[in-house]
Amino acid sequence: MITVIHAYSRGNPGDGLLVDESLALLARLGVAQPDIRLVALDPESFGPFPHTVGVGPSRVGRLRRLVGASALLAGLPHQVRAAIAGARAVVGVGGGYLRTDTPYSAMKALLAHGGQLRAAAAAARQGTRVLYLPGSIGPLTGVTGAVMERWLRRVPYLAVRDDRSLVHLPHARRFPDLAVLRLARRGVPEAPWQGSGAALLAVRALPRPGGYVRRLRGLLRASAASGGMVPVVASRAGTSNDDGKFTAGLRSLPEEGRHLMSLGKALRTLRPTVVVSVRLHGALAALMAGVPAIHLSYERKGVAAFEDLGLGAWLHPARSFNPYVVQAQVDALREDAGPYWERLAAAVPRLLRQGAELDEFAAHALGLRGGARV
């Protein structure tokens, strides 16, 4: 049995996609779902998955979940610790973000991921094969950062998705984000949708926002001359990942955005010509649907992903972007998205090579070759 750790919730489309891609990588190596145990913060969201384990008790309040996560972190007997210790191999899902640069991020990293990381590091010391698929790591500061860095150094096969994550972990290997590699495997649409459809805007709340909200409202005003933008919701998972209320506040929409259309539904039904997304997974979902995306990035994962895709010209910092420059790009993409898709097509062969290298790296880490153990 292989134990896959650090899953969150399928209610967040980005996290669900990265879990799916982690499982797809294992499937390419010949590992079937019945041979996988999935550890998740919200195991019920993964539906009929054969084997799931929750970090805290299912269907209970936040306090009891916190108690469960604390027990795991402290090294006490725990179902997740048992699932990791009893596994033939352990795989950390792609897309994780471990950092301790603020007290809040340190506490969040410890409670959400620290216990699983500690158990995985302990398993690695006992000879279990442990692989972490590409995620983002750091800054690792303070006492908490030092502890997590020590655990990470015990993970023998560690992949990251951006260059800055290599700073404290020289044994790590850099690969593109799993969702970026999925996009490359699917290829550039042969006939991307062209027309006069809507422009979608998918936003989220940010910590330390600076001028972020003011610039978003400026973008909405700037878009009015071209027909405006349709606000949509990319994620509704939990409290910190529910974008509805924040999106509604930008336009004073009623009922805290509960009736706003999801990004997924809007891509299917509105046939938009362009998407402006603050969440990286929202931008990637648009690309997978054949719709050009402009990414307002708030973390280095977005910068790395769009640069890997060759789309750096359509990447802007969320807290300091120029609304008029973004709107000009929206208008240009509505007129002719050809140069955009040409840039992406040029990056695909390199991404396919890197994807094959990641599969080989994972096969070596887990002792697998085409479904057979090495």
Report which listed range, 12-26, 98-112, 266-280, 317-331, is most confident: 317-331
Distance CA 374, CA 100 (A): 37
Q: How confident is the model at residue 365 (pLDDT cuts 50, 70, 90)?
A: very high
Higher pLDDT residue, 175 or 368?
A: 175
Q: So what's the pLDDT on residue 194?
A: 59
pLDDT for 68-77, tens place per residue? 778 888 888 8
Q: How confident is the model at residue 348 (pLDDT cuts 50, 70, 90)?
A: very high
Higher pLDDT residue, 220 or 253?
A: 220
Cα 319 to Cα 164, 209, 215, distances in angstroms: 20, 6, 8
| Stretch 20-29: mean pLDDT | 95
- Paired residues of 199 in beta bridges: 274
The answer to whether the CB of 53 falls within 8 A of the CB of 83 is yes
| Stretch 302-316: mean pLDDT | 97
Contacts of 318 (CB under 8 A, 6+ apart): 206, 212, 278, 296, 297, 298
CATH numbers and ranges of domains, the chain? 2-185+351-373 (3.40.50), 193-336 (3.40.50.2000)
Kindly provide the b/e burial profile for residues 285-312, where b requires at least 16 CB atoms within 10 angstroms of the residue's own CB: bbbbbbbbbbbbbbebbbbbbbebbbbe
Position of tokens 């359509």?
Answer: 314
pLDDT of 234 strictly over 70: yes
Beta strands in 319-371 (DSSP E): 368-369
Q: How many other CB atoms are found less than 10 A from the CB of residue 120?
A: 28
Q: How confident is the model at residue 295 (pLDDT cuts 50, 70, 90)?
A: very high
Specify the DSSP class assigned to residue 114.
Answer: I
Q: So what's the pLDDT on residue 241?
A: 62
Q: Residue 205 has which token pair?
A: 């709340």
Q: How confident is the model at residue 56 (pLDDT cuts 50, 70, 90)?
A: low
Distance CA 241, CA 235 (A): 6
First to last CA, the chain: 16
pLDDT for 154-198, tens place per residue? 999 999 999 999 987 989 999 999 999 999 998 877 655 555 588
Of 173, 132, 180, 155, whose CA–CA distance to 5 is shortest? Answer: 132
